């Protein structure tokens, strides 16, 4: 089976994205890094197949995307739908937040992420 996570072909692009984060990505990262949420490890710019997730928690199969204006164009919506379908085929849950919401209301964004983490953890116990 071919490797699908963090492939070498996307290594430089992942590094470039980590070094050039948007304000919204920086804001969210400050709140989820170092296992701050329920002890869950998140990674920035994590490769999944041909795509790069903004943030990913492998233990939960949870992807968090912070969407700028380009995601709301026709082309952006089509790309995101294709990407989401791929990730969902791998049983990866996707959470999306608009840049503005992350910047203006990080507390509620973090609370929403915590709720999803708890739901996933609870479902694993069953």
CA dihedral 19, 20, 23, 24 (to 10 degrees): -80
Residue 32 lies in a domain: yes
Residue 1 lies in a domain: no
Residue 2 lies in a domain: no
Residue 101 lies in a domain: yes
Give the whole-angstrom CA distance, residue 103 versus residue 41: 22
- Give the number of domains in the chain: 1
Give the whole-angstrom CA distance, residue 79 versus residue 39: 32
Residue 21 lies in a domain: yes
- The whole-model pTM stands at 0.94
Residue 54 lies in a domain: yes
CATH, residue 70: 3.40.960.10
pLDDT in tens, 59-113: 999 999 999 888 878 889 999 999 999 999 999 999 999 999 999 999 999 999 9
Residue 91 lies in a domain: yes
- What is the domain range of residue 91? 8-121
């Amino acid at each position: 089976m071919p490797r699908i996570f963090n492939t070498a072909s996307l290594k430089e692009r992942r590094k470039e994205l980590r070094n050039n984060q948007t304000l919204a990505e920086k804001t969210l990262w400050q709140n989820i890094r170092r296992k701050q949420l329920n002890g869950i490890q998140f990674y920035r710019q994590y490769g999944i197949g041909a795509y790069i997730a903004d943030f990913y928690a492998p233990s939960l199969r949870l992807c968090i995307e912070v969407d700028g204006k380009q995601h709301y164009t026709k082309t952006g919506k089509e790309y995101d739908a294709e990407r989401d379908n791929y990730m969902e085929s791998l049983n990866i849950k996707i959470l999306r937040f608009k840049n503005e919401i992350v910047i203006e209301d990080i507390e509620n964004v973090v609370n929403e992420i915590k709720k999803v983490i708890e739901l996933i953890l609870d479902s694993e116990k069953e």
